[in-house]
Structure 1
Amino acid sequence: MATPQHFVWAAGHLVLLAASLRYLLASLTFKTASSLWYKASYAGAIVSYAIVCHKSVGYPQPNIAWARRALLDENIQYLMLALFWFTSKPITLTLLPFMIFSLFHALTFLRTTVMTRYMPGPPATAGGPPQPHPLAKRLQAWVKANYDSAMRVVAYTELVIFLRVLLGAVAFQNSLLAPIAFAHFVRQRYFQSAFTREAIAGATRRAEALVHREGTPPVVVQVFEKGQLLVQRWAGVALVPNPPAAAAAGGARR
């Protein structure tokens, strides 16, 4: 049975979806988009992620063990990111990953809570489990079929966001802190998400092919290779639960 906290969690995701769609549509049609919709989007995200974080790590505690557990929690990472974007100058693209997550959460809530209560399925067969409504089955099938593709879109979008805030910092369109903070976020996602690793590997291959094509000045190649080396050294140590060898020995875990 859904608790009031569960309904508040779902309401946060619905607010995020509705407000971000309103803000995104205004931006796409070149209309003036009120920053209130942007703030409302991230307010919804903060509410939903705060509830999940409370369930996963509890209240903050003044010790290293709790801090380490919190820093390793993916929901904490997205909560901190939502807080950062909420207090920063609006960047429309940053809403897209949160919108995708909220869409899947909202559909799952609709299927498992709302439809179960208000759209019961056909009568169960003798001795069999209750049957979901046919629409609930279709929703479940759609979510299952599209989840991986959606997570790849999120991973690639986060790389584009990093490029956007990096160029924005150079052009003084956003704060210098934005690319630094988001780089640390992407770095941690690399060690925790197979989708992020796949996106970075794909982007790296495309960049290498572009830089090493015939006619590229040698100085560009040298700068690119030195930049790669610096990034690899910076990202080489991460806050992860177990070393790669131990994780491999213990089996895959997401």
Structure 2
Amino acid sequence: MIVDPHYLWAFGHAIVLVNSAYVMLQTLLFRTPVRAYRMVYVGALLSYAIVVLKSLGKPRGVNWLRRAFVDENFQYGLLALYWLISKPINITILPFATFSLFHCATFLRTNILPKFYASARCASKLTSSKTSGPNAQPNWAESLGRRIQSWVKGHYDSAMNFVSYAELVIFARVLLGGLTFQNSFVAPIFFAHFLRLRYHQSTFTKNAIDGITGRIDGVVAKQGAGVQNAWGTAKRVIRTWGGGNLVGNSNRAQARPAAQGAGAAAAGGAQARATGVNTGAAGTANRR
């Protein structure tokens, strides 16, 4: 039996969502459920692998790798693989859980609920024939679909902002963990390169980094000349390493988030790849 890749993609996100909920619950109890944590990234790899294969095709040579490394879904898939084989750090699941929440909601609206539309209409008509117009029962499937669409559209940008700041918190966590030997020092280096790519591809990440930079600028401005010079030097080094304005000028006007991102997510993945499978990171083509 051949399984539709779209359903496998959704299954992967469902694995991420369910196991993320369990990991978060255990985190509140100061526990790390290793098996559930690993399953989060197994599910993520399943979903991202399907999207990458459909968008880029089978791996073939250097040109494929070049296209893959600038593909957002490949980047997140590679990150998921790194977290899978590394020492568990619970906070790292937050971006993946957020993306999967939106993908699962959209999949439910566009692929599951429509199967109930016909039966729901029949039930609604039967009920309407026995009651007056104002008291007729609504079509529950279509009503739920509209609510999901409205929720996704209304919360998409705020969720992507949350993810961008969460990724900065994750970097701070792995950097501190590297300095205190709680995790490999490779982790902050790897994640710093990931954030570098995100900065150049994501309006949300760019705004988050610029916002944090502006706040630090405000604090440093009240300090002595030595602190100001040290911060200025640090920004120049980071900017040079980033290949541009990685740590931007705090006076620069920030670009607005991609407003169409919410519309793409609400539409069930208008940015879907060849088979209609949504991009791997909750509309990342618009988010990033």
TM-score between both structures, scaled by the size of structure 1? 0.85
Match of 1:55 in 2: 54
Deviations 1:54-111 (A, max 9, x none): 1111111113x22221111100000000000001111111100000000000001100
- Tell me if 1:202 matches 2:211: yes
1:133 partner SS? helix
- Tell me if 1:162 matches 2:189: no
Q: How many pairs are equivalent?
A: 229
Kindly indicate whether the alpha-carbon contact (under 8 Å) linking 1:20 and 1:99 is maintained by their aligned counterparts in 2: yes
> C-alpha separation between the residues in 2 aligned to 1:211 and 1:91?
31
Overall identity of the aligned pairs, in %: 46
Residues 131-170 of structure 1: matches in 2 within 5 Å?
133-170=142-179
Gaps of 5+ in 1: 124-131, 239-251
Kindly indicate whether the alpha-carbon contact (under 8 Å) linking 1:122 and 1:133 is maintained by their aligned counterparts in 2: no
Kindly indicate whether the alpha-carbon contact (under 8 Å) linking 2:19 and 2:40 is maintained by their aligned counterparts in 1: yes
TM-score between both structures, scaled by the size of structure 2? 0.75
Kindly indicate whether the alpha-carbon contact (under 8 Å) linking 2:69 and 2:75 is maintained by their aligned counterparts in 1: yes
> C-alpha separation between the residues in 2 aligned to 1:12 and 1:25?
20
> C-alpha separation between the residues in 2 aligned to 1:182 and 1:174?
13
Match of 1:181 in 2: 190
1:225 corresponds to which of 223, 226, 232: 232
Match of 2:78 in 1: 80
- Tell me if 1:235 matches 2:242: yes
1:71 corresponds to which of 60, 64, 69: 69
- Tell me if 1:19 matches 2:19: yes
2:150 partner SS? helix
User: Considering only aligned residues, what root-mean-square deviation do their CA atoms show, in Å?
Assistant: 2.1
1:99 partner SS? helix
Higher relative contact order (CA 8 A, sep 6+): 2
Aligned-pair distance for 1:7?
1.1
The residue type paired with residue 104 of structure 1 is F
> C-alpha separation between the residues in 1 aligned to 2:102 and 2:58?
27
> C-alpha separation between the residues in 1 aligned to 2:68 and 2:96?
20
> C-alpha separation between the residues in 1 aligned to 2:121 and 2:227?
65
> C-alpha separation between the residues in 2 aligned to 1:149 and 1:122?
34
1:148 partner SS? helix
1:105 corresponds to which of 103, 106, 111: 103
Deviation beyond 3 Å, 4+ runs, structure 1:
119-123
